[in-house]
Amino acid sequence: MFDKIEHIGIAVKDMAKSKKLFSSLFNQNPYKEEAVDSEYVNTVFYQTGESKIELLEATSSDSAIAKFIEKKGEGIHHIAFGVKDIYLEIQRLKDEGFVFINETPKQGADNKWVVFLHPKGSNSVLIELCQDR
C-alpha cells in the first residue's frame, strides 16, 4: 500500500535561484541540502505539511535531470510515494505488469531506499517509491 505522497520532485536549472524562489514561496528555508553523486544531482528539501518538495539540479550533462530539462524544460519531474515494504510493492507492481527503471532499491537522498517506475507505463508520470533507510 502507498502511505502518502512523500514528496514531489521538481527539476530546476539554477538551484541558487530556485532555492530563493521556493524559500520565499514557502516562507521557510530548506531543511536539507544533499548532493547525490551517483545520480549527478544536487537536492534541496522543504517540508510542506506531511509531504515534501524536492528540488533537483543536475551536476553533469549525464544526469537524468539534465536530459529531462533538455526535453521538457523545468518543472515537476516525479511523484514519490512512501511505502513501508518496498520489496513487497515492487513484486506486486511487477505482477501487475509495471516496468521499473531500477528494480533493486538504491540509496536516494534524504535517507531513503528508492525505485522508479518507467513513465511509459504510468501515463508519462515518473513514479518513485521510497522507504526510510
Per-residue cell: 30: 530548506
Q: Which is nearer to Zn ion, 9 or 95 (CB)?
A: 9
Q: Which is nearer to Zn ion, 93 or 130 (CB)?
A: 130
Tell me the C-alpha distance between 44 and 36, whole Å.
11
CB of 54 to Zn ion, least distance (A): 5
Number of H helices, E strands in the chain: 3, 8
CB of 36 to Zn ion, least distance (A): 10
3-state class (DSSP) for residue 126: coil
Q: Which residues bind Zn ion (CB under 5 A)?
A: 9, 54, 80, 128
CB of 107 to Zn ion, least distance (A): 12
